[in-house]
Structures are given as structure tokens and as C-alpha cells.
Homo-oligomer: A and B are copies of this chain.
Amino acid sequence: MSVPDTYTTLEQRFQRRSRIQDALAILHWDSSTLMPDGAVGGRTDQIAELSLIAREILLDPMTSDLLDSTEANRSALSGWQSRNLDLMRREHTLATAVPSDLVEALQRAGAASEMCWRTARPGNDFAAQRPHLEEIFRLTREAAASRAAALGLSPYDAQLELFEPGLRDADIAPVFDDLSGWLPDLVDDILTRQGAGPQPVQPVGPFPVPAQKTLGEGLMAALGFDFSQGRLDESAHPFTGGVPDDVRLTTRYTTDGFAEALMGILHETGHALYEQGLPVDWRGQPVGGSGGMALHESQSLAVEMQLCRGPAFARYLSPQVSAAFGGQPAFDAANLASLVTRVKRGLIRVDADEATYPLHIIVRYRLEKALLSGDLSIADLPGAWNDVMAELVGVRPPDDRDGCLQDIHWMDGAVGYFPTYTLGALAAAQLTAAVRRALPDLDDQVARGDFSAFLKWLREKVHALALSRTTGEIIADATGAPLSADAFRAHLRTRYLGS
């Protein structure tokens, strides 16, 4: 049986849509890195126009007809084509479920809310942010209800679906319950041990930016980053943007230290390697894209947290840091490894270490579910935030600046995003444990700067599969078990308690 013409036409439509989205990705990257301040109005218009054109391809009634006709001939499709059809249908449903005026209202409200947040957060002004948050959650509740009805899901599951296809709260709840059961005690044990042991020697700056950049680029190349299809630049907040054949990652340098910028580069390199490893044959089709945010985060954390903050990588890194900045006692390999694995009960998620990070996430997970359902009002958010922080992380924010105002996600309507960070951390641990079983001498390879077998494993088991399977299937197939917190717990015990 030959592939139906309707399917071929759909591929062309999604290819066109993908090219518009690729152009948008470059414009977004430019907005965050190079664009002068005075261009923000015009750029916003350009992005809105291209986004609308991309959306119109989905809303066109012909797209719906083509999906239905192809559905009737699904048996003529290959496995990837059939999955591609499912993902086309998913994008179509997500787009058509929400009326265009609500989409626009959310965009406008998000932009206004984010603009307010830029001053409300440093000004510790929850009162100023509150009406924006109320509007954002009101509109998000409405959009989630529409998507939930179209997908046959609960509203929170409809939000999760936006960030990780197929992820349901029923997958998250037991894992987060498990974590909140044992992780606070484990953090206690780690803090006791780190407090009793010797403290790491601090590096002495200044660390010139050009030397930091050269060191970072060298490590990126060693890890397998292809500079003929990507770049390293600077931005206020590190991120990975661009498109698979032009992956653009950023970091933020200070001259006081080098570890934070460097670990930022290594984290984004994990994201970038995933994008560069997506199958070329399926570029521009939904099935050829990267998995959801949880799987994406697992790739950045496998590189940064699992590999590059470990003792084997520190042995590889130590002479390079000395070559870049001149030798000093802090650059001893064991000291470097100690420096990048300090644990602390802190107020700020983005500054958190890998042990306390999941607790920050569970705080947000509990609160955003309550905010979305309406069980918690925005007015009550600051107090609730501080209570859950005290309960889970063990510190109580003195103000909202370092409390419920610290993250941009909710301000912008990204409800359901936070859990993917921790699911990604658990998946990174579980995948890396599987890599270690397959490559018993991984640490020796890493210590001598040979990352090829590690990357090959990720390429085959994760990157090359793109969206042909769900994140749950990919992890279960690669590791032999469904995603759980077990490998993460074992990793923390090994790294921090030596057991």
C-alpha cells in the first residue's frame, strides 16, 4: 500500500509550520541575546505575526479534513508515520481547543504580567503582581478547561500535556510522595556530613571572560558539540535556543568565579547535544522533534549533574582549569569536585543544589495544583508558599522577593512546567545508572576526556528516537524499568554519603 496523498500533504503543511517556528526560534534567541532595548515593540509584533501564521496552518479547516482522511487510511503508514499522525492530531487538538481570543488574551496578560514582575520582584511588591497573577490564573484555568474537555483529561493533566506529551499527574504524584518521604532526611544526613568534613578551598579570581569562554568551548567540543551547527553566546539567563542544525546556547559570566558559568555551559551542552542528535530524516515533522521538557532536562542533567559534577570529570577538568587561569590550590581535582557538590538549604530554586532542588519543585507542584483548582487563592499564596517551604526545604522566606515572586513561570502562565525539572533529574540518574551498567569503565573514559561512548549511548537510546515513543517508553526501554526515584536516591547516597 502506498502512503496516502493526504498524509504527504499533511507533512508539507507541518514542514511549512516548522520552518516558521524555526524562524521564530532564531528571533527569540536574538531577542534574549543581542536585540537592542528599543526594538522590543517591533520584535513583539513580528513574533506575534509569525506565531499567528503558524497557528493558522493548524486552524485551517483543510488541516482537519486531511487528518480525518488520513486516519481512515492509517494502515498504509509506517510506525513513525503513524506516530507522526498522532502528534499532528495532538497539535491540532491543542490549538483548536482554545479560542483565538483566549490565546491572544493569555499572550497579552502574560506580557503585561512579565513586565510588571521585572520591577515587582526586586521591589518585593506582591501587591503589584497580585492582580496580574489573578488574571493569568483565571485565563489559564479557562484554557486548561477547554483543552481538558478536548483531550478527555483533568485540567492539570491538560497543562502537563503542554510541556511533556503523555505526562499525567498520576505518574507524578506517587514519585513526588516517595521523594518527600525520604529526601528531607537525606538532606539532613548530607548537611551533617558536609558540616563535619573539611571545607573546600575557594578559587581566587579574577577569572577573565575570554579565558572562561575558551575553556567552555573546548569542553563543549570534547563532549561532542558540533560548532558547525551551533554557537555559544551570552545572555542574562542561560538557555538553549535555536534549531537542531543551529543550536544556540548561552551562559552568563562573572569574573569573580568560573564554576557557575562553566556548569551553566555544561548544562546547556546537554540540551544542545540532544537537539543535535535528533534524526535528520524527520526534521520539520512533529515526530522528529525533541521529547517533552522532562526528557530534555534529563539530557542536560545527565551531562551536567551526573557526569560533570562527578569526581572523574574533576580529574579531567583540573589541569584545564589551571591552564586557563594559572594554577592554585582550589584547582585540585578533589577540591573541584567538592566545590560543585556543596549542599545548602536555600530560598532560591535556581541556586539550589541537586539534593534540595526536588523539594523546591514539590513546593511549586503542590501550590500550582491548588491555585489551578481554585483551592488556594492568589491572595493566600505568599503565606502558603512560606509554610510549604518551611515544611519541605526547612527554611522560611523573609519576604516575597525570595519567596513566591522568585520564578517567572507562573507570571507567564507556565502552569504545569515545574514538575518536569525533577522528573528530568530522576530520569538523568536512572539513565546514567544504565549507562554505567553498559560501560563499566565510564569513569576512566571521563577522566581522560573521552565522552564518545557515553554520547553514543544517549544518541541511540534517546536522541535518535525523537518523539517516536513517549518519554515513559524511552526511559523504560533504555533502563529496563519505569521512571522512579530509586536511581536518584542511590546516586545521592553514593555521591554525598559514600554509601
Residues of A within 8 A of B (CB): 16, 19-20, 22-23, 26-27, 30, 34-39, 41-43, 45-46, 49-50, 53, 226-231, 243, 245-246, 283
Contacts and interface: CB of A to CB of B under 8 A. Distances in A.
A229 B39 contact: yes
A245 B41 contact: yes
Given A36-B246, A42-B243, 16 more contacts: A16-B49, A20-B50, A22-B42, A23-B23, A23-B46, A36-B227, A36-B228, A36-B229, A36-B231, A38-B226, A38-B228, A38-B229, A39-B245, A42-B283, A43-B246, A50-B50
Q: Name the residue among A41, A227, A229, A246 with the largest chain B CB count within 10 angstroms.
A: A246
Nearest to A244: B42
Contact of A30 (B30, B39, B43): B30
Contacts of A227: 36
B34 A245 contact: no
A246 B38 contact: yes
B26 A49 contact: no
A41 to B, nearest CB: 7
A37 to B, nearest CB: 5
Main secondary structure of the interface of A (DSSP, over half): helix
A49 B20 contact: yes
A19 B49 contact: yes
Contacts of A30: 26, 30
A463 to B, nearest CB: 17
Contacts of A246: 35-36, 38-39, 42-43
Contacts of A49: 16, 19-20, 23
Given A26-B27, A26-B30, A30-B26, A19 B36 contact: no
A226 B46 CA distance: 21
B42 A245 contact: yes
18 contacts: A19-B45, A19-B49, A20-B46, A20-B53, A22-B42, A23-B50, A36-B229, A36-B231, A36-B246, A38-B228, A38-B246, A39-B229, A39-B245, A39-B246, A42-B243, A42-B246, A50-B50, A53-B53
B46 A19 contact: yes
Give 10 nearest A-B pairs by CB, closest first: A39-B246, A38-B229, A38-B228, A19-B49, A23-B46, A42-B245, A19-B46, A39-B245, A22-B46, A37-B228
Q: Name the residue among A20, A38, A42, A43 with the largest chain B CB count within 10 angstroms.
A: A42
Contacts of A231: 34, 36
A252 B494 CA distance: 53
A27 to B, nearest CB: 6
Contacts of A22: 42, 46
Nearest to A52: B16
Contacts of A26: 26-27, 30, 46
Contacts of A45: 19
Nearest to A29: B30
A52 to B, nearest CB: 9
A27 B20 CA distance: 12
Contacts of A42: 22, 243, 245-246, 283
Contacts of A283: 42
Contacts of A37: 228
A443 to B, nearest CB: 32
